[in-house]
């Protein structure tokens, strides 16, 4: 495959930047100015080359109809995930209601990419309080992103409420015969075995975010 000239690379980079910035593609003359190209025909010439090489797609005769084909064009949309409370060992975690997502408190959200939520709905976040979740590799102040659910498949990390001890914990869920094994993310720590009846799954952990600033 033919390699791109510096001018073509500059145009591609400018396209990415412009779209990321303004959410709509530039016109030919925007590119001309942005890349310091002397003529619109040169821009057109190079755009045609880029189109032939498969880097962009253009709708003829339509202004600003340039589409990037290498996946970098669309600014990845972020999703506001409401932080509805804290999670700590000794207290039950807050339960999200339908209202949680229809009426988001924008002062208490964490914006994440769809990549982090896996495209799931009913996603909420909790702030970790205290050091008790260290076996799940989350620290005081970290944020845990959860999907609201009451069931889990083997190997998924869940927020679970243990009725007997009155504690909430973040562990990986496994069925072991008729018992449940809760495995800490930290492999050096021991799992918990318990009866399914003793367990109340309150959410599935999608992502953890630790701010170490």
Q: Are strands 78-87 and 109-113 parallel, antiparallel or unpaired?
A: antiparallel
22 is an interface residue for a second copy by CB under 8 A = yes
> Does residue 173 contact residue 201 with C-beta atoms inside 8 Å?
yes
C-alpha span between 194 and 182 (Å, rounded): 8
Minimum gap (Å) between residue 163 Cβ and a second copy: 23
Structure-token pair, residue 111: 């914006």
Of the candidate residues 71, 98, 121, 151, the single one contacting a second copy (CB under 8 A): 71
Of the candidate residues 53, 89, 148, 185, the single one contacting a second copy (CB under 8 A): 185
Contacts for 200 with CB less than 8 Å, ≥ 6 apart:
150, 160, 161, 163
Of the candidate residues 9, 14, 34, 49, the single one contacting DNA (CB under 7 A): 49
C-alpha span between 139 and 128 (Å, rounded): 7
From the CA atom positions of the chain, what is the Rg in Å?
25
Instruction: List binders of DNA among 60-99 (CB under 7 A).
Output: 60-65
116 is an interface residue for a second copy by CB under 8 A = yes
Instruction: List binders of a second copy among 135-154 (CB under 8 A).
Output: 137-139, 142
28 is an interface residue for DNA by CB under 7 A = yes
Minimum gap (Å) between residue 149 Cβ and a second copy: 13
190 is an interface residue for a second copy by CB under 8 A = no
Question: Which residue, among 207, 111, 115, has the nearest Cα to 159 in the 3D structure?
Answer: 207
> Does residue 152 contact residue 146 with C-beta atoms inside 8 Å?
no
15 is an interface residue for DNA by CB under 7 A = no
Residue that the structure tokens 């005769």 belong to: 61
Minimum gap (Å) between residue 59 Cβ and DNA: 8
Q: Which residues of this chain interact with DNA, rule CB under 7 A?
A: 5, 7, 27-30, 37-46, 49, 58, 60-65
Give the residue numbers annotated as catalytic, written as ranges.
132, 171
């Amino acid at each position: 495959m033919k390699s791109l000239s510096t001018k073509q690379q500059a145009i591609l980079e400018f396209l990415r930047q412009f779209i990321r910035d303004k959410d709509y593609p530039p016109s030919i003359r925007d590119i001309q100015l942005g890349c310091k190209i002397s003529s619109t025909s040169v821009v057109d010439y190079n755009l045609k080359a880029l189109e032939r090489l498969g880097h962009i797609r253009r709708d003829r005769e339509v202004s600003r109809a340039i589409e990037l084909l290498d996946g970098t064009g669309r600014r990845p949309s972020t999703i506001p995930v409401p932080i509805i409370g804290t999670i700590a060992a000794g207290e039950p975690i807050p339960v999200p209601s339908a209202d949680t997502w229809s009426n988001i408190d924008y002062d208490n959200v964490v914006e994440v990419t769809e990549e982090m939520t896996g495209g799931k709905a009913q996603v909420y976040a909790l702030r970790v309080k205290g050091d008790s979740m260290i076996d799940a590799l989350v620290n005081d102040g970290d944020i845990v992103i959860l999907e609201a659910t009451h069931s889990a498949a083997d190997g998924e990390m869940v927020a679970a409420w243990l009725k007997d001890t009155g504690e909430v914990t973040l562990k990986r869920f496994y069925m072991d015969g008729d018992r449940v094994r809760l495995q800490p993310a930290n492999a050096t720590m021991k799992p918990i075995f318990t009866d399914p009846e003793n367990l109340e799954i309150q959410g599935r952990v999608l992502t953890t975010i630790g701010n170490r600033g």
